[in-house]
Structure 1
Amino acid sequence: MEHFEQSGDCTAIDNAVQFMQEVIKLTPDGHTEKAARLNILGVAFQRRFECLGKLVDIENAILAKQQAVDLTPDGHADKAAQLNDLGVAFSRRYEHLGELRDIDNAILLMQQAVNLIPDGHADKAVPLNNLGGAFFRRFEHLGKLGDIENAILAMQKAVDLTPDDHATDKSAWLDNLGNAFSRRFEHLGKLGDIENAILVHQKAVDLIPDGHVDKATRLSNLGIAFINRFERLDELGDLENAILVNQKAVDLAPDGPAQKSARLNNLGNAFLRRFEHLGELKDIENAILVHQKAVDLIPDGHAESAARLNNLAIAFFRRFLHLGKLGDIENAILVNQKAVNLIPDGHAHKAQPLSNLGLAFFHRFKHLGELGDMENAILTMQKAIDLTPDGHAQKATLLINLGSALKSRFEHLGELRDIMEATVAYKQAANNTPSRPLTRYDAACHWAVLCSTHQSLSSALDAYTVVLELIPQVVWFGQTVHRRYEELPIIGRVINTAAATAMSVGDLPKAVEWLEEGRSIVWKQILQLRTPLDELRQEHPDVADELLRVSLALDNAGTSDFQNIDLDIKPKSVEEEAQNHRRLATKYEELLHQVRELDGFSSFLRPKKFFELVPAARNGPVVVVNVAEVRCDALVLCTSGEIVHVPLLTFSHKQAETLRLELVSSLHAHGVRINRNGDRTMHSGEKYKLDHFRSVLADLWSHVVQPVLSGLEQTLDKNAHQSLPHITWCATGALAFLPLHAAGIYGSQDPTRDMNISDFAVSSYTTTLTAMLVFGSKPKQDLTKTPSVLIVSQPGTPGLTPLPGTVKEVEVIQRYAFPNYTCHLTHESATVGAVLGEMTKHEIIHLACHGIQDAKDPLNSAFALYDDGLKLNTLMGLSLKNAELAVLSACQTATGNERLPEEAVHLTAGMLAVGYPSVIATMWSIGDDDAPLIADGIYANLLGGHDDSESQKAKLTPAYALHEAVKHLRKKVGETNFVKWVPFVHFGV
């Protein structure tokens, strides 16, 4: 048999069987070696069965091994090994026939074998591993969690008992342990299990020598684990790794049909998942080709036939969804039905093919409209759900499929019962905690929509509550910041709808809470990791220190670029760093839970309640404008603590988007290339573009700003120290890209009709209410002390157009700031490292340079310095304590990303996040001649004359200082020259 073990050649094992049969015939009854030889014959029969799949061989194996056990007296040294071998034979027959009594017998025999061997003895590893495998198979049959727990326990003991120099055995035990972790992950959805599976499988691959017959198996199982983790985290690198190792496994697989089929099947699954992720047709073509080969190779009646057929059916189904060819859905149903028929009723493995069959019926109904397909779809989907225990990680997906089918039947037949049952299915899916967070989130959204449309808005609030609870799991600390941003575009629109629903039922505080919770999610996560822990440290210093340690490490991991490391670096190092990041996130969440269990800390770092958000309006009203598809509203937080609700009855989601596009067109008409990287120079207009500037500002005035001011007429008091009240805007959706601070009627034929917001209030913006709270709580700076100013200028940035106006701009600032309190970095001295080093030493920073907005990768947006760009991603690594003001005299510093309107992914938000409570920025490219005028106005009003005590007293806050500066620029360039004066904005307090 040694030749077979090394080569996998079925002819060699056939010869071994014949030889051992002759040996048995020559061995008389009662001979001391009779039992041992019978056992060897049984092993040879078993190997031939594994090679050729013929039932008679495994029957003969059990018969021979049973005789060996019966002939061996109790207490004999060989008894444990023979019991184990007999158990293995029962296990193999179970795999072939699926009869539960075989696996029960296997577990009984293997447990006896384990009990006969002293603890710690090296010989105990083999039966422990096999016992674990038997528990594993029974778990797959019955789905009982205790069996997979026992499997992992036994297999881990086998691994621990086996030294590393027993490489072949240890690799096998590790491989089995990895499979068990994978199955428990599929059942419970715990990320730690699939992380462990990958680590264990990688060790198994590393231990097995190249050229070994089992190398293909080890690689293939590692590939399966990568696929499983991809389905949880959606990281494309896992799919690429899965395809790579599975292709190697196929290339290395022995020619035995069952082994080759298994490797092809796993490769096909990897191609299928990549197609689902990227939508490239070649991947689904490869998946079908490979899965068809896997089906063709597997012997009739093989235990894995159903699984092979099911995966081929899925591939046909996915190609149907992509191309719409009827033949593909027909093939999917035909092949899936074969798979279902091969699996015994009641077997846990039957659920997935039943669900897939139901899905295929459902989509054929949608294609052809035949009601029989819909009925079959719902029937088979329900059977799949009934076979899947509550708490199974896949149950949410099955319930969503059923909910979609029931909803479709309601739309077809109009029976209210269907919509009620669909709502229940979505609700159960949303509440199935082991399932993938994104799957549960989708279910909760469906649940909310059905409640809003067919039941009551109050029941929709229950669904939206679950949506909000799931967002931190969808946009998870364990992902890099880049990855988190990929999940956000759809979330903002859902939050806007949730808030609109809360307003519709009159729950205004809930609407405010939800809008706050759903805005700047990633920014708030970053700030959360940097939250001072003084109060916690006073009462629980050890917990605070541990939380601080984990927070700092997690913050660093989340904003690092390790997933973009060059591919020449070994994947293992990237893998370890990624897993460490996710372990930190899990540890951080465990520590938060621990803190919240402490007396007085139940709300620690939880989303803020309305009463906690009210102080954001301490210095003036904050206007939160919600733009949802169902309705638009303004919610005004007043200094008194009340909410003024202003329904925007003449404004809509569609109108907001139209105004945004008209603004873009107007900017192009004036030669402002908002997608150009940081160009601070105006260009000649593109004549074919229309200038809508005046109408955009007029519409904002008529439909948004004027209604808000009217609603605030009784509560809008003038600032005690300034001539105009101060309003802070927090807009959502497309409105976040529009200049509310400049809304008004300009240049009308009747001058008495001209009016704009600057006549009534000073405007600021904020990314979130929480930012206002953080900055409002900072201690007031000493007004008698002149703040230290860091000036960074780049009149001639290498590779970019010159900015000669920055020279004059610097002279203006230096005129108002004491020279000994000013640091000026320019030309080659203004490097990224130098600027970062000086930022911690000065209260004010003034950046006069190019600004670069990267629409594809927002975190790469940067200030262009002499040697490189000072990127948003780099700024996020800072935490400044004494910062007061950042003046970003660069272009597009508050532009943001149209895909992420609720996230404020721009350089201004970055400066707020690192600790500047006040930021003056630009919405688009500015004129090089205008920047010095604005700087003069800002610093004259902000710092005053340093030798004049009266002007010292008259110093304004940044918002009012900018207001005055822009008023001066507007007079100089002309009120209707909007492109020149409108871009300057103030963020913060």
Structure 2
Amino acid sequence: MRAERAREAVVGRVEGAPDEFLRAIGDDPAGWMALADKALGESAADRTVLGAVAALMRFTLSEISPRHPLREQCVRLLAVALVDTAQHHDDEAAYTEFQTVVRFEAERLPDDDPARARLTGMLASVGARRRESTHDRMTAEARALLDRFEATEDEAALDEAIARFRAVVLRIADEPDRRHPLGSLGLALVLRYQLHADPGDLRAAISAWRRALAHTPPGNGRVQLVANLAGALHHLFDLERDEAVREESFQLARSVRGEGVAEMRRLNNLAAGLVARFVETGDTRAADEAIELHERAIAMTDPADPQYATRLHNLSDLVKVRFSAAEDPAAVDRSIDLSRRAYAAANTPPRQRFALALALAAGLSLRSERSADLASLAEAVELIRVFVADGPRQDPDRPFLLGKASLILSTYYDATGDAAVAGEAAAAAREALRAAGTGHPHRPMLLFALSHVLSRVHHHTGEAAALAESRRLMAEAASVPAQSPLDRAGMLVLVAGAQVAQQRWAEAADAYDQAIGLFPLLVSRRLTRADQEKRLAERAVTVRDAGAVALQAGDPERALTLIEHGRGTLFAQSLENRDDFDDLRADHPDLAAELLSLRDTLATWTAEGAGAGDDHHRLARRWEELVARVRELPGRQGFLGRVRVGELLSAAERGPVVVFSVSAIRSDALIVRPDGIEVVPLPGVTPEVVERNAREFLAAVADGEDVSGILGWLWDAVAGPVLDRLPDDPSQRVWWCPTGSLAFLPLHAAGRAGHGVLDRVVSSGTPTLRALLHARRAGVPAGTDTLVVAVPEAEGVPALPGVEREVRLLEDVLPTTTVLRDARRAEVLDQIGRHGRAHFACHAVTDTAHPSDSRLLLAGDAPLTVLDIARLRLEGDLAHLSACSTATVGPVLPDEAIHLASAFQLAGYRHVVATLWPVRDVFAVGFARDFYRVVAEHGAGSAALAVHQATRRLRDRLPDHPEIWAAHVHTGP
């Protein structure tokens, strides 16, 4: 009877139960379990058998008592049947029943019953195995979908892969076990981001990789994950401009080392971030490190690897932008060779070949510009035409590549005048703009590309509509704030030029004002001094024209501020307004202390090697953050900002300051007084005329030839018209502030036939009005005793026999002197802060190409450079540099006034006496004697008068030799 009910129970629950199974069911529960065990062993995957076993075990549980000795075995057999059904037939209901039955049976047993522990353990272990099995299967399916996408670019497969990876992650409870599916999910999301540029995909990928990295042990797997995450963070920085993101990417990429594919990817992504840093900031350390990393990655890559072409391409692009033709004439040829190898590489994915073609075209176009090679340009155009016609329309990089293509086509149009090419260039640029949309990160470049095309059309055809649209597009490009300061400043200058062409002077002044406002960002504290100088050299014409435009607009005060803030950028960065820090220290001492510490650390930055640039940028970013925080405080919006015109005018409180504006637009002298500015037109003075006279003057001085004609021109055209506006008072002080090539000429010596500036005023010089204000704010000097640095002999230069006579003279004239004979650098730096005055009698070297490397030659092999001096924080009264060319500016950066004299002023000396060109030993001694007689009697405050009188004495003795008597100049209050 029990056997019949058992068979009915099985038949009622399982359709098509095996006949032999049903016939074997007897009356004994032990026999039922034996039958179930035998059936499971023989047909574990057969769903009908599994169902029959499960039904029989359910009936058995209903028939036996809760404390029956075989009940646990019955529960286990039922569990096996249900788990196998779930595993082999994807039956979630079976697994749910398994959990319900086993949990119920366990919970009805006492806590101390061993059977309860065994059932609970079975529940946990089966659950773990099932999760692992399910996860492995789902992960394998997702990876197969990802492989399908990479082989066929089937976007539906990619979307499904992402959905399945996410499902796997959600099903896994333990975070460490999620790291592999999280890594795969991140990869799939980045692939989709590359297709559609959806920032949400990029951020989700970064989140997934960060979670995976937290539980990934050291090894190549971690290196691979770090490389992927660092690359994604670089892309996120491009979107959000959050520098903490970029900093994280560099820290990650430098935190690991690996081998094989993982290491190659790490090198490549680290290099990509460094390239971006170089392009945006001009930090050549980043570019040089990136070149080395790319070369290592290429050397490790098999030419059959699909990534080989990409790595060649990356290096090609970097070489192209790192080295100008002037710096390295072979750079363009090397870039083209790398691009050709990349373009010819095997196994390159089809979508990438178009980017490689454009890169090769860009190199060929550069070659044509350098050497007028029309064949190279024609080859570039053919590559572009293939891309425009056949390149993938949905590629998110297409707008950027089209913009580059349009610029190369414009170059070909300029060379050939072919109107059809102009049409191609314009069509490519317009398609790029349509595809990019308003928020695209490359939109400014694309606007510039179309503007450039249209400007060339106007140039060739005179078409007014093309010119109007070109100007509108350029103005729009310049107005986009989310671009590098270098790019935006360049576009603003182009906008200003367009306004000048229309004689819209006020609008042009506005554009120049915005461009000059970006100068501090172009030379931020993130850069080495050499890189800062290089960036400023590219902007000299901007400043020259900005003041002239403001004068044309009838606004001399604006002209003064534009000239002032466009020049001496590095000088201003070094000095920083002491009053600002004094006030801040009183109210916010901790903030002021951190800022001053950062300022000094960055000013003396010399660290080198991998990672040093990262630290440099991190500290500079902290500086910028703190300055921004101070500017948010009440009443401190102008902290370390532009000096207002009222304060600039106050620089003339002890006498007029004459600031020059020399431009092809117009040239003027601005006589600055406390109550306003008087504009003195200088007709006939142009940049070309001044540069020619300066060049001829310096050549004549070097050769000992007559320079009276040039000094006469300087009087007639420049200095005389200014002094005609001033009272006739030979004791009056005047500060000359020359700009451009005027800085090479001795304004204090301008004159004809014994009548000139020396007979009309007492002259001083100042590189900027801010420098003059800085000198007047200088603190109380350490005393009136003088440190004399005497180096009559230095390695590689002739001896200076007059140095010892100069020392004896100073010891006789001055009350207290400390003489360092044959002084070494460390000794000078140790002693200089202990004296209120300093006199250097030695050789000096002016490095005109890199003025920050100009130096005073000391004993030993370590000189005292401009940077060494400028980084000092002293409170000195007077520095006399009795050496050659210590106030000579370099031809590349005359408006920055980077020389030894300005360095001593920055260090804290109120008065500095220096030379504009080489001086002979014997005359330097005589000048020092006459100078110090006045200073000994009247103090350091008489330094300007002392220079004036010593110069006049030399002129009276040698009137026909201004190369001797006009060399010395005074800088200071």
| TM-score, normalized by the shorter chain, greater than 0.5 | yes
Per-residue deviation, 1:942: 1.3
* 1:920 aligned residue (913, 919, 923): 913
Q: CA RMSD in A?
A: 3.0
Q: Give unmatched runs, 5+ long, in structure 1.
A: 1-26, 33-66, 564-573, 671-690, 747-753, 945-951
Change in 2 beyond 3 A, CA 1:833/1:301: closer
- Corresponding residue for residue 737 of structure 1: 744
The more displaced of 468-477 and 788-797 is 788-797
* 2:178 aligned residue (116, 124, 132): 124
Change in 2 beyond 3 A, CA 1:622/1:291: closer
Q: SS of the residue aligned with 1:77?
A: helix
Q: How far apart are the structure 1 equivalents of 2:225 and 2:375?
A: 44
- Corresponding residue for residue 641 of structure 1: 675
Per-residue deviation, 1:877: 2.2
- Corresponding residue for residue 594 of structure 1: 629
Q: SS of the residue aligned with 2:661?
A: strand
Per-residue deviation, 1:236: 4.2
2:726 alignment partner AA:
L
Per-residue deviation, 1:467: 0.5
Q: How far apart are the structure 2 equivalents of 1:712 and 1:85?
A: 89
Change in 2 beyond 3 A, CA 1:630/1:299: same
Mapped contact 1:361–1:377 kept (Cα < 8 A): yes
- Corresponding residue for residue 551 of structure 1: 599
* 1:475 aligned residue (511, 519, 523): 523
Q: How far apart are the structure 2 equivalents of 1:512 and 1:321?
A: 38
Per-residue deviation, 1:465: 1.9
* 1:853 aligned residue (840, 846, 854): 846
- Corresponding residue for residue 644 of structure 2: 609
Matched, 1:760 2:745: no
Matched, 1:432 2:480: yes
- Corresponding residue for residue 928 of structure 2: 935
Change in 2 beyond 3 A, CA 1:150/1:504: same
- Corresponding residue for residue 869 of structure 1: 863
Q: SS of the residue aligned with 1:917?
A: strand
Change in 2 beyond 3 A, CA 1:301/1:534: closer
Per-residue deviation, 1:814: 2.0
1:501 alignment partner AA:
V
Per-residue deviation, 1:170: 1.0
Per-residue deviation, 1:459: 1.4
Per-residue deviation, 1:240: 4.1
Q: How far apart are the structure 2 equivalents of 1:711 and 1:602?
A: 38
Mapped contact 1:190–1:434 kept (Cα < 8 A): no
Matched, 1:983 2:967: yes
Change in 2 beyond 3 A, CA 1:279/1:480: closer
Mapped contact 1:131–1:151 kept (Cα < 8 A): yes
Q: Equivalent pairs: percent with the same residue? A: 28
Q: How far apart are the structure 2 equivalents of 1:793 and 1:610?
A: 43
Q: SS of the residue aligned with 1:128?
A: helix
Q: How far apart are the structure 1 equivalents of 2:476 and 2:963?
A: 53
- Corresponding residue for residue 816 of structure 1: 813
- Corresponding residue for residue 802 of structure 1: 799
Per-residue deviation, 1:590: 0.9
Mapped contact 1:217–1:263 kept (Cα < 8 A): no
- Corresponding residue for residue 675 of structure 1: none
Matched, 1:114 2:147: no
Mapped contact 1:729–1:763 kept (Cα < 8 A): yes
Q: How far apart are the structure 1 equivalents of 2:552 and 2:200?
A: 48
Q: SS of the residue aligned with 1:729?
A: strand
Per-residue deviation, 1:193: 4.5
Q: How far apart are the structure 2 equivalents of 1:874 and 1:779?
A: 20
1:866 alignment partner AA:
A
Q: How far apart are the structure 2 equivalents of 1:934 and 1:140?
A: 71
- Corresponding residue for residue 76 of structure 1: 131
Matched, 1:201 2:240: no
Q: How far apart are the structure 2 equivalents of 1:187 and 1:367?
A: 37
Mapped contact 2:884–2:915 kept (Cα < 8 A): yes
Mapped contact 1:648–1:707 kept (Cα < 8 A): yes
Q: SS of the residue aligned with 1:625?
A: strand
Matches within 5 A, 1:827-906: 827=822, 830-867=823-860, 868-881=862-875, 883-906=876-899
2:552 alignment partner AA:
S
Per-residue deviation, 1:983: 0.4
- Corresponding residue for residue 724 of structure 2: 710
Per-residue deviation, 1:334: 3.1
Mapped contact 1:174–1:201 kept (Cα < 8 A): yes
Q: SS of the residue aligned with 1:823?
A: strand
Q: How far apart are the structure 1 equivalents of 2:783 and 2:604?
A: 34
Per-residue deviation, 1:367: 1.7
Q: How far apart are the structure 1 equivalents of 2:374 and 2:325?
A: 23
Q: How far apart are the structure 2 equivalents of 1:817 and 1:765?
A: 25
Matches within 5 A, 1:349-748: 349-454=397-502, 456-528=504-576, 533-557=581-605, 560=606, 562-563=607-608, 574-638=609-673, 640-670=674-704, 691-713=705-727, 724-746=731-753
Change in 2 beyond 3 A, CA 1:804/1:296: closer
* 2:951 aligned residue (953, 966, 982): 966
2:383 alignment partner AA:
V
Q: SS of the residue aligned with 2:680?
A: strand
Mapped contact 2:778–2:908 kept (Cα < 8 A): no
Mapped contact 1:730–1:766 kept (Cα < 8 A): yes
1:981 alignment partner AA:
W
Mapped contact 1:80–1:112 kept (Cα < 8 A): no
Q: Give unmatched runs, 5+ long, in structure 2.
A: 1-43, 50-85, 96-129
Q: How far apart are the structure 2 equivalents of 1:859 and 1:621?
A: 30
CA shift digits 1:310-366 (9 cap, x unpaired) = 333333433343444344333333333434455543442211222232223222211
CA shift digits 1:811-859 (9 cap, x unpaired) = 22222222xx2211113xx222222222111111111111211223222
- Corresponding residue for residue 773 of structure 1: 773
Change in 2 beyond 3 A, CA 1:975/1:283: closer
1:182 alignment partner AA:
H
Per-residue deviation, 1:646: 0.6
Q: SS of the residue aligned with 2:921?
A: coil
- Corresponding residue for residue 135 of structure 1: 189
1:105 alignment partner AA:
E
Mapped contact 1:786–1:817 kept (Cα < 8 A): no
Q: SS of the residue aligned with 1:476?
A: coil
Change in 2 beyond 3 A, CA 1:546/1:257: closer
2:762 alignment partner AA:
V
Change in 2 beyond 3 A, CA 1:932/1:309: closer
Higher relative CO (Cα under 8 Å, sequence separation at least 6) belongs to 1
Q: SS of the residue aligned with 2:208?
A: helix
Q: How far apart are the structure 2 equivalents of 1:379 and 1:630?
A: 36
* 1:304 aligned residue (336, 340, 352): 352
Q: Which structure would you say has the larger Rg?
A: 2
CA shift digits 1:662-712 (9 cap, x unpaired) = 212211331xxxxxxxxxxxxxxxxxxxx3411111111111111111223
Q: How far apart are the structure 1 equivalents of 2:339 and 2:745?
A: 52
Q: How far apart are the structure 2 equivalents of 1:302 and 1:643?
A: 65
Mapped contact 1:744–1:755 kept (Cα < 8 A): yes
Q: How far apart are the structure 2 equivalents of 1:591 and 1:246?
A: 35
Per-residue deviation, 1:309: 3.3
Mapped contact 1:336–1:353 kept (Cα < 8 A): no
Q: How far apart are the structure 2 equivalents of 1:287 and 1:845?
A: 52
